[in-house]
Amino acid sequence: MTSQELVYKPPVPAPSVETVTPVESARPSGPAAAVVLSAALGCLTLGVLSVLTAAEERFSDALTVSDRVGDISGITTAFRGRVLRLLGRLCRRLAASRPVPGARRRRGGAADRARAARDVPAVLQPLRLTAEKQ
């Protein structure tokens, strides 16, 4: 027995796919965008209606739901309906949109495992080819 055979050689660990811990999945950004957009468009509607009622007497008369309140009753009613309609429509359209930019992606799923198995470093490529043949 030679001296080189007596030297302890630690076992080479088998190449393993990087283990990732699953984190909380990123929520789609569609509903959030719908909320912000509906708030912005609601503000726009409010501004347009208030300008129109101040500029035109016809609009003011048309928007007077309650005589004791005046045209602001119609403005708030139309404004609330507009916001709710916009919110519903935008939520439906944007519900399945992309995740939030910068948010963490869910890791550890089947797609990530397949990607990790595909992206084997060049040093380990022979091992991968051998495993595929077997």
Partner 1 sequence: MWKTHVALMAPMLATAAATLVDYYGRTLARDRTVRNLALALFVGAFAVTSLAALIGSLVTRAAPIR
Number of neighbours of residue 32 by Cβ within 10 angstroms: 13
CB 99 within 8 A of CB 105: yes
Q: Is 98 in the site for partner 1 (CB under 8 A)?
A: no
Provide φ and ψ at 63, rounded to 5°: -95, 5
- Distance, CA of 59 to CA of 129 (rounded, Å): 76
**Shortest Å distance, C-beta 58 to partner 1:** 16
Q: Is 21 in the site for partner 1 (CB under 8 A)?
A: no
- Distance, CA of 118 to CA of 66 (rounded, Å): 69
CB 5 within 8 A of CB 91: no
Residue of 20, 36, 84, 129 interacting with partner 1 (CB under 8 A): 36
Which residue, 33 or 116, has its beta carbon nearer to partner 1?
A: 33
**Shortest Å distance, C-beta 35 to partner 1:** 5
> Using CB under 8 A as the criterion, which residues of the chain lie in contact with partner 1 when the complex forms?
24, 26-27, 29, 31-32, 35-36, 38-39, 42-43, 46-47, 50-51, 54, 72, 75-76, 79, 83, 100-104
